[in-house]
């Protein structure tokens, strides 16, 4: 079946469909990762986006239940140069085609993804439409121009959990907090785990939860709009601010509650959690031209000069010049475009990074940041 991808500038790419059929709209972006397409598809940070893979062959190792980063796929569409319908891998349990169809994601293959990526790099990410229906150039071009952008849109509410849950033995377990004493909440966890960590779910990846549990944490995941009052009543040892999609400036409720939490408990922020922390500390955010999406982004530790190769997925950043450096230390910088990649409070156990130290998929250069978070809880 034929499928088309149209951009807001009037460009239309014609290809073959796989996965679901129908029509979806979103912001068209590109990811430079060579592997990890299933993790990308199930990363809530991609909500509202049509993702283009720059690596030309996708689907060759299939999909499997263990590589899910959330309970479903979140992308609006998936664009590849060549789709491989016959995967060959010992871990594979199904094809990418069936996975996309199950999760209502439209895939398109057979287009020039190098030309598309170049267009997005030169002109910036664009609004677009991916469709298998009513294939008419005038119609799809006109509709692409009407697609909503990311600026000012709160996508966190669309991906955050609606109910609290604990992460235990690699699974979500629902939990009730109302009329429950804080100590009783934590007693339901594995007694061998030492540290009590609340994860503010702005679109959390499962590997963040796995990374915390692996280090002996009792992980309690709360909706992104949970009040600071409830978080503090639970008396955790530390607070994790998760990744998530969209414009951080549009999620004012999370920023206001975070202002209350700063100074109360050790805090570690990742991705949009980093952006929320920067905004709560008085900074300003801005939209990047084409964002950072891939598993090969070079980031330098400012103090030591050490370079980490990191996994990233974000379209907004914190303006380093907007932060008060007498209060906030700038800790990491992106070597491609010199944007801020990490910050820390100078006197409080509060820090964050723009990239993904849980590295799923991606390198493990930044894994030490979870150990730093554990150490900050030990010292309290």
Q: Which of 74, 271, 308, 332 is catalytic?
A: 271
pLDDT at residue number 160: 98
356 as an active site residue: the answer is yes
Q: Are 107 and 97 in contact (CB under 8 A)?
A: yes
pLDDT at residue number 261: 98
Q: Which of 76, 257, 341, 358 is catalytic?
A: 358
pLDDT at residue number 119: 98
Q: Are 144 and 6 in contact (CB under 8 A)?
A: yes
- What is the Cβ-side half-sphere exposure of residue 123, based on CA atoms within 13 angstroms? 15
pTM to 2 decimal places: 0.96
The verdict on domain 2-144 having CATH code 3.40.50.2000 is no
| Mean pLDDT, 10 residues at a time, the chain of 380 residues | 96 98 97 97 97 98 97 97 97 98 98 98 97 94 93 97 94 86 85 93 97 96 97 97 98 98 98 98 98 96 97 97 98 98 98 94 92 93
Dihedral (C-alpha) 125, 131, 134, 136: value to the nearest 10 degrees?
30
pLDDT at residue number 17: 97
Count CB-CB contacts under 10 A for residue 286. 13
206 as an active site residue: the answer is no
pLDDT at residue number 146: 95
Q: According to CATH, where is 3.50.30.20 located in the chain?
A: 2-144
pLDDT at residue number 331: 98
pLDDT at residue number 179: 74
156-378: CATH topology: Rossmann fold (3.40.50)
* d(C-alpha 256, C-alpha 128), whole Å: 33
Strand partners, 241: 200, 269
pLDDT at residue number 314: 97
Strand partners, 317: 286
Question: For residue 250, what is the DSSP state?
Answer: G
Burial degree of 303 (CB within 10 A; 0-12, 13-18, 19+):
exposed
Q: According to CATH, where is 3.40.50.880 located in the chain?
A: 156-378
pLDDT at residue number 265: 98
27 as an active site residue: the answer is no
Residue with the two structure tokens 């990762």: 33
């Amino acid at each position: 079946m034929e499928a088309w991808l149209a951009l807001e500038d009037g460009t239309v790419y014609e290809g073959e469909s796989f996965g679901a059929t129908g029509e979806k709209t979103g912001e068209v972006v590109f990811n430079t990762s060579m592997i990890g397409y299933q993790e990308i598809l199930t990363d809530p940070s991609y909500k509202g986006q049509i993702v283009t893979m720059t690596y030309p062959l996708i689907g060759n190792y299939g999909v499997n239940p263990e590589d899910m980063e959330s309970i479903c796929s979140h992308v609006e569409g998936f664009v590849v140069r060549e789709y491989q319908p016959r995967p060959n891998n010992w871990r594979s349990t199904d094809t990418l085609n069936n996975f996309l169809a199950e999760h209502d994601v439209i895939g398109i293959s057979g287009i020039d993804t190098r030309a598309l990526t170049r267009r997005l790099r030169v002109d910036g990410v664009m609004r677009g439409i991916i469709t298998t229906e009513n294939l008419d150039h005038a119609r799809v071009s006109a509709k692409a121009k009407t697609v909503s952008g990311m600026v000012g849109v709160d996508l966190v509410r669309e991906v955050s959990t609606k109910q609290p849950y604990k992460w235990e033995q690699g699974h979500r377990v629902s939990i009730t907090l109302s009329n429950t004493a804080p100590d009783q909440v934590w007693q339901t966890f594995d007694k061998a785990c030492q540290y009590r960590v609340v994860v503010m779910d702005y679109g959390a990846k499962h590997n963040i939860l796995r990374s915390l549990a692996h280090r002996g944490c009792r992980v309690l995941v709360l909706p992104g709009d949970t009040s600071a009052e409830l978080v503090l009543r639970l008396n955790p040892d530390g607070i994790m601010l998760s990744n998530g999609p969209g414009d951080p400036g549009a999620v004012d409720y999370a920023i206001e509650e975070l202002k209350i939490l700063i100074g109360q408990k050790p805090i570690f922020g990742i991705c949009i959690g980093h952006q929320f922390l920067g905004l709560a500390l008085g900074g300003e955010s801005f939209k990047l031209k084409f964002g950072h999406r891939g598993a090969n982004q070079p980031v330098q530790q400012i103090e030591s000069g050490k370079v980490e190769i990191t996994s990233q997925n974000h379209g907004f950043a914190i303006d380093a010049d907007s932060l008060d450096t007498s209060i906030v230390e700038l800790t990491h910088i992106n070597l491609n475009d010199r944007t801020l990649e990490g910050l820390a409070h100078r006197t409080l156990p509060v820090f964050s990074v723009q990239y993904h130290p849980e590295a799923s998929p991606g390198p493990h250069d930044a894994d030490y940041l979870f150990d730093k978070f554990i150490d900050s809880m030990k010292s309290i």
